[in-house]
Amino acid sequence: MASEAKLKELLAQMTLDEKIGQLVQTNGIFFLKDDSELTGPATELELDLDYRKNIGSLLNFKNAENAIKIQKKHIEDDRNGIPMIFANDIIHGCRTIFPIPLALGASFEPDLVEECCRMAAKEAAADGVHLTFSPMVDLSRDARWGRVMEGFGEDAYYTGVMAAAQIRGYKGKGLSSKESIATCAKHFAAYGAGEGGRDYNAAELSEHALREYFLPAYKACVDAGVDMIMPSFNSVCGVPATANKYLLCDILRDEWGFDGVVNSDYSAVKELITHGVAKDYKDCARLAFDAQCDIDMISPCYAGYLKQLIEEGVFSEEQLDRSVMRVLKLKNDLGLFENPYHGADPALVAKLELCDEHREIARRAAEESAVLLKNNGVLPFSKDVKKVVLLGPFATTYSILSWWSSRGDKTKATTVYAGVKELLKDAEVIALDVCTRDYNDEDESNIAEAVELARNADVAILCVGESGRYSGEANSRTDIRLSKVQRTLVREVTAVQKNSAMLLFGGRPLVITEENEYVPAILEMYLPGHEGGSAAARLLFGDVSPSGKVSMSFPRSVGQCPVYYNRTQTNRPPRAQYLDVPSPHNFTSAYLDCGTSPLFTFGYGLSYTTFRYDSMTLDKTKMTKEDTIKVSVTLTNTGNVGAKEVVQLYLHDLVASTAKPVQEFKAFKKIYLEPGETKTVELEINEPMLKLWTPKGEFISEPGEFTVSVGYADHFHFTERFELID
Ligand code: GLC
């Protein structure tokens, strides 16, 4: 690895154009097409061809072979021989796809998330990737927003814990390792707070909301050593994040001390014009660079105008050097100066892709991420059944990966049909898609056949949900129920077959309030990746018990959105008896036509066994800021199958200088218990957990009384008081 002095020497010999080139990031197409073909989309980059030799990084280059070919030519063309960074969106796997982050959020298994990302890094590095635009840590409270599938849900602390696990997984033994890739936390900040759940929309929120909810997970990434930050597309309090000096300089650089690369989102710099804050590309370059956005992704602003801005004295060459040095340092950390190809190895890709070990990790992740939302006792189905019908658009489809399944070959996914067939070798397994996965499908012509199949089977599994193409970027929706034909299918099948279960797929918490009324069992799989079908089969037929817990609340109605567990009390909270049902008019903060609480709230999830919480004890009930309180929770598996449970700890600050949530999730442990086994779990309360953002703009703890509870949101087994004393 080169020393900092060597990097400074390199910087000193670079021309202005060469320096600026390091801050330009283009699409792989710019290097893969030969010159005569570079028209149309490529020229959208508005860069002339000989500019290629200066470019510092690129994304979307498909595979290791291309990475090697492009890098080799680039080093020959670039006067300084500076290797490019090869980036890609490795969001939930590279070639072996595991569950989407929203599903992993239900696992409450940081170690498993780390293991998945370790696997993804090995595959990605072999496939020529140096940098992934992951983790995504946007707080997700609004299920209308399609990008909730990319994050870990509605709790900032928990999102930070899981994102830190991702960063550990991706970085492994260090960036210079051929099995590691650099990381980028996105989308900074408050991208999930877009008004109306509409993607890219303005986020108008208070400093208090930013500090308490929408910033902490990014800070957790900075503390975990994330290599890069990507500003969000949206405006935050009126200023687009890409040019938001308060976010990018005052908070990120000055307050948090982050001196890594800030990489714009796709064309976000030039889109400052459509935001209405810049009049032309030169203005875009000025605004973004002034906010210390170092790299301009897929837009002509820096390439076209940064030189002018420096020659005109708007920016100094020292400011340019500062950004260029950040990029050179990242390349140096990756070991690219010694080994410009990093881990690229096409033969290794072929060996790793969907190998048994990786498939096993993907299956385990899908099992741990599934949430049993309802079970009247029909699950697990017996493996002795003779006839099973799988009904619905997810019965045989390979499309159980997601919008962000990178280079994963979906045709190699284990479908639900294949999983059930493999597990029940002697049973007759019939699958009927019945309808499409389109959310507006109303064609009910195949319902009658499905009902007949269900009537004459031992069990009916309804494989329904929202297609992966309707979540992810630019996929906001206002009606997040199942499609009409799927709702009819579920209703009519369950009317004739009591041994029915609904297997639910999708990239967001759907509104399934209607189905919840009459379906005997609901197992949420989200978008479970390559081994989703085998995981679903093992869960449905009891080889493994579901252990996932909701990390993003399910609305009863889209009219509740955004709805989340850590609500504030208000001056007139809903009466307890009306929390889950429509409230009469009684001057409380409730709905006349719907319960206030989510249908399924944060931390909720059933098991095939039952757990009795026997006790919760505190080793003290008063603590100073230097102290901690040990919380011991004893629980017993009172059922007849071994299973995992997530022991969850919530705090409530009874009186504070701001209105605090009725409950805040602050610690957890997932443990396995054999039937009849009793275990005691130790959790800890420390002072940082008690901090709040005060009206004076400080993040501090305040002496006073708190409660500590165990259970899941709004459903506690024990609650005790303790005091923080001066
Ligand atoms: C997209 C996304 C961002 C992604 C980037 C590169 O528009 O907003 O999450 O990393 O472009 O693909």
- What DSSP assignment string belongs to 473-486? TT---S--B--HHH
Mean pLDDT computed over 319-342: 98
Give pLDDT, residue 40. 55
Sorted by sequence, the CB contacts under 8 Å of residue 384 that are 6+ apart come out as none
Give 170's pLDDT tier (boundaries 50, 70, 90): very high
Residue with the nearest Cα to atom 3 of ligand 1?
265
Which CATH number is 611-724 given?
Answer: 2.60.40.10
In terms of Cα–Cα distance, which of 243, 330, 329 is closest to 292? Answer: 243
Question: Which class would CATH give 382-540?
Answer: alpha beta
Query: pLDDT tens digits, residue range 488-532?
Result: 999 999 999 999 999 999 999 999 999 999 999 999 999 999 999
Minimum-distance ligand 1 atom for the alpha carbon of 186: 9
Ligand 1 centroid to residue 233 C-alpha, Å: 9
Report the nearest-CA residue for atom 7 of ligand 1: 266
Strand pairing of 715-724 and 622-623?
parallel
CA–centroid distance, 61 to ligand 1, in Å, is 14
Give the type of residue at 435.
C
Chain segment 564-575, per-residue pLDDT in tens: 999 999 999 999
For the chain, give every residue range classified as CATH 3.40.50.1700: 382-540
- Pairwise CA distance, residues 484 & 437, whole Å: 11
Expressed in angstroms and rounded, the spacing between residue 267 Cα and the centre of ligand 1 is 9
Q: Predicted confidence band at 386 (pLDDT cuts at 50, 70, 90)?
A: very high
**CA 725 – CA 704 distance, rounded (Å):** 7
Kindly give the distance from the C-alpha atom of residue 271 to the centroid of ligand 1, in angstroms, as a whole number: 14
Q: In a mutational test of the pocket of ligand 1, which residue from 473, 475, 476 has the highest number of ligand atoms less than 8 Å from its CB?
A: 473
Which ligand 1 atom lies nearest to the CA of residue 187? Answer: 9
Query: What global pTM score does this model have?
Result: 0.97
pLDDT-based confidence at residue 32 (cuts at 50, 70, 90) = confident
Q: Which residues are catalytic?
A: 265
Ligand 1 atom closest to the Cα of residue 233 is: 8
Residue 265 Cα to ligand 1 midpoint, Å, equals 6
β-pair type (678-686, 628-637): antiparallel
Specify the residue for token string 């072999």. 126
Q: Which helix (H) or strand (E) holds 88?
A: strand 85-88
Chain-centre distance for alpha carbon 622 = 37
Pocket of ligand 1 (CB under 6 A): 59, 89, 133, 186, 265-266, 473
CATH H-level, domain 4-347: superfamily: Glycoside hydrolase, family 3, N-terminal domain (3.20.20.300)
Q: Is the pLDDT of residue 45 over 90?
A: no
Ligand 1 pocket test, pick from 183, 266, 295, 298 with the greatest ligand atom count within 8 Å of Cβ, gives: 266
141-169 average pLDDT score:
98
User: What is the token pair recorded at 323?
Assistant: 């950004």
Name the residue with tokens 């099973």.
Answer: 388
Residues of the chain with CATH 3.20.20.300: 4-347
Measured in Å, residue 514 CA sits from the centre of ligand 1 at 35
**Each residue's pLDDT tens digit, 664-717:** 999 999 999 999 999 999 999 999 999 999 999 999 999 999 999 999 999 999
> Which residues belong to CATH 2.60.40.10 in the chain?
611-724
Which residue's alpha carbon is at the smallest distance from atom 8 of ligand 1?
265
What value does the CA radius of gyration of the chain take, rounded to a whole number of Å?
26
The residue whose C-alpha atom lies closest to atom 12 belonging to ligand 1 is 89
- Rounded Cα distance, 277 and 279, in Å: 7
Which residue among 137, 265, 271, 299 has the greatest number of ligand 1 atoms within 8 angstroms of its CB, and so is best to mutate? 265
